[in-house]
Structure 1
Amino acid sequence: MTTQQILYPKSKLWMAAIKPPMYSVAIMPIWVGTSVAFAETKNFNATIFTTFIAAAILILAWENISNDVFDSETGIDKNKHHSLVNLTGKKLVVFWLGNLCLILGLLGILAIATWQKDLTVIGVILLCCALGYMYQGPPFRLGYQGLGEILCFFAFGPLAVGAAYYSQTQTWSMTSLLASVIVGIVTSLILFCSHFHQVDDDIAAGKRSPIVRLGTKTGSQVLIWFTASIYLLTLILVLWGIFPVWTLLSWLSLPYAFKLCRHVQQYHNQPDKVSNCKFIAVAVHFWACLLLGVGFVL
C-alpha cells in the first residue's frame, strides 16, 4: 500500500476517481442549448431533454474512464492514486466498463434521432465522441500535444450546445452558437486548471500541456484573461441586444471566478495546494452556465 493510500481512505480515492462534480460538464451544454431553444420557440420537450442529459452523463463517463486507461499506458498516471486503473488493477475491465457507458449513451442519442426521424443529432454527438477519443486515445493523443483545450472547446461548446438546441427545434440558431462559445470557454477552463499540479508528471511522460509550454506563472496570468472573457462576452452580447439582459445573472458566479484566479495566482507553483483549482473552476462553470440558461428561460 502506498503512502498516499494510507493518508487517504479508499472511499475518498474512489470518490476522486468517479469525480461526481465533474458531471456538470456534461449537463450544462444540454441545459444552455435547451434554454436558448425555449427562449426562441417557447417549446420544451422534457423527454428529449432528460434523455439527452442521461446520455451526456454516460458519454462523459466513457471519456473519463477511457482516459484513465489510455493514461495508464503512457505512465503519466503512475502517481495518480485515484486512477480507476490504479485502484482496481484491472485495466481491461475498466476499458470495457467505459465502452459500455459509451454504447448506452449513444443508444440514448439514437432514441432522440429516432423520435425526430432525423439523424443530425447522432451525427453531431458522434463527432463529439471522435474529438473525445482523439484527446487521449492512440494513435492521436492530441492532449499530449497541448491541444486538449481546443478539442474541449468544440466538443462541449458549439457541438454539444448546438446538438441540444437542434434536439428541441430541428433547426440551428446564431444565438445558440454564440452561447456555445461561452460554454466552450468555461469548460476548457476546467481542463486548463487541471494541468497546474501535474507539470512534473506531464514533462516526464512527454506531455506538452499548455502549462508545461507556458510555465505555471504565465499560465496563472493567462487564466485571468481566460476567465474574464466569459463575463466580457456575455456583457457585449447583451449590449448588442443578442442576449436578453437576464443572462447577466451569470455574473453572479464572479465570486467563484475571483476565488479561482486568486488561488492559482498564489499557489501556481505549489502542486499540493493548487491541485484543487480545477474544482473551483467546476464551480465557475456550473454557476455561470446554470445562470446563463436561467437568463434565457426568463
Structure 2
Amino acid sequence: MSTQEVTKREAWVMAARPQTLPAAASPVVVGTGIAVHDGVFAVLPALAALVGAGLIQIGTNFANDYYDYVKGADTEEREGFTRVTAGGLIDPETVKRAMYLTFAASILLGTYLVYVGGAPILVVGLLSVASGIAYTGGPYPLGYHGLGDLFVFVFFGLVAVAGTYYVQAAAVLAEPFPLGVPPETLPLAVLVAALPIAALSTDILVVNNVRDREEDATTGKRTLAVRFGYGFARAEFLAMLLVAYAVPLWFLARPGYTVAIALPYLTLPYAASITRTILGETDGRILNPTLERTGRLLAAYAVLFAVGLSFTALPL
C-alpha cells in the first residue's frame, strides 16, 4: 500500500505499532502468573499495570517515530515498517503532541498504582516515562549510543515484571501508599521470572538492529550492531535465548514449583526457526517478518510461563 492510500486512522495505527504490544503485555502476564502462584493476585492493579504498560509502549513508539525523523535517522533506504512522520502521513508536531498525551494518560492511570504501591511505583513510573522519551529523544538518546538493549532489558523486562507483581502484592499485603518496599512484596523469584521476558524483549530489538545496521551506520545511530558488527549482535541474540530457556530450570530446582514450569520449552522449535533466520540474513524483506515472529515468540513464552507459574499453585 502506498502512502497516498493510507487513511488517517490507518496512519495512527501504524504509528502506534500494535505489533510491538506483546513486549508491553508479556511482562504483565508473567508478573501476574507469579502473583497467582504466591497468593497475592489482585485484579485491579493487574489491569491497571497492563493498560499502563501499553500506553508507555505506544508513547515510546510515537517518540521513536518523531525523534528518528527529527534526527534524520529515517531515510528512504529504511527497510523497516513505515514511519508516519518520515513518510509524511502525519505532521511531526501532531505526532509529538500524541506522544506527550499518551505519556500523560499513562501518568494519570499511574496515580492509582502509586496509591497502591506508594513511592517505589512513583519513582519507577516517572523513570519509565522519562526513559521512553530518552530512548530516541533528549540530549543523549539511549538508542543512538548503544544503550537501547540495556533500556529494553531493564524497563520492558525486569522493571515491568517486578512492578506488576509488586503492585498486586502491595495491594494485598500493605497499607496504601507505602514509602518503601513492604516485606514480601518483591521476592527474588520475581526478579528471576523477569529474566526471560527481559531477554526475549531484547532479542526483538536485536533483530531490529541487525535489519537496520547499514542505515544506522550512515545516519549516526550507534547501536551495538553498528558498534560491534553482525557477529556480536547474533551472539547477543543467542545469549538472550540461553538466559530465557535456562530460567525454568532454576524454578524446577526450587520447592513449590512443578514440571508445569517447563511449559515454555514448547516454544523451542519456533525459537530455533527464528534463530536460523537471524544467523544467516540481513535483508529487511526477510527480517521484517522475523521481527514479528520474535514478538510472537515472546508472547507465547510469556503465556506458557505464566500458566506454568499459576498451575504450580494448584494441587496436581
Same fold (TM over 0.5): yes
Q: 1:287 to 1:117 in 2, by over 3 A?
A: closer
Measured against aligned partners, the alpha-carbon deviations of 1:155-193 in whole angstroms (never above 9, x if no partner) come to: 012211111111111221111011112211111111111
Q: Supply the AA of the counterpart residue of 2:96.
A: F
Q: Supply the AA of the counterpart residue of 2:84.
A: L
Q: 1:70 to 1:297 in 2, by over 3 A?
A: same
Measured against aligned partners, the alpha-carbon deviations of 1:227-282 in whole angstroms (never above 9, x if no partner) come to: 23211232233234475432210111112211110111232x32332232211110
| Candidates 73, 77, 81, aligned match of 1:76 | 73
Report the equivalent of 2:93: 92
| Candidates 179, 183, 196, aligned match of 2:197 | 183
| Candidates 220, 228, 253, aligned match of 2:242 | 228
Q: Offset at 1:117?
A: 6.9
* 1:139 counterpart = 2:139: yes
TM-score (norm 1): 0.89
Gap regions ≥5 residues in structure 2: 171-184, 312-316
* 1:283 counterpart = 2:296: yes
Q: Matched residue of 1:56: which SS?
A: helix
Q: What is the aligned residue count?
A: 291
How far, CA to CA, are the matches of 2:94 and 2:256 in structure 1?
A: 48
Report the equivalent of 2:64: 67
Q: Matched residue of 1:85: which SS?
A: coil
Q: 1:129 to 1:14 in 2, by over 3 A?
A: closer
How far, CA to CA, are the matches of 1:64 and 1:242 in structure 2?
A: 39
Q: Which has the higher helix share?
A: 1
Measured against aligned partners, the alpha-carbon deviations of 1:5-27 in whole angstroms (never above 9, x if no partner) come to: 37x95368765443212111111
Between 241-250 and 96-105, the greater mean CA deviation after superposition: 241-250
TM-score (norm 2): 0.84
Q: Matched residue of 1:83: which SS?
A: coil
Q: 1:271 to 1:293 in 2, by over 3 A?
A: same
Contact 1:197–1:270 (Cα < 8 Å) also in 2 = yes
Q: Matched residue of 1:215: which SS?
A: helix
Q: CA RMSD in A?
A: 2.3
* 1:101 counterpart = 2:97: no
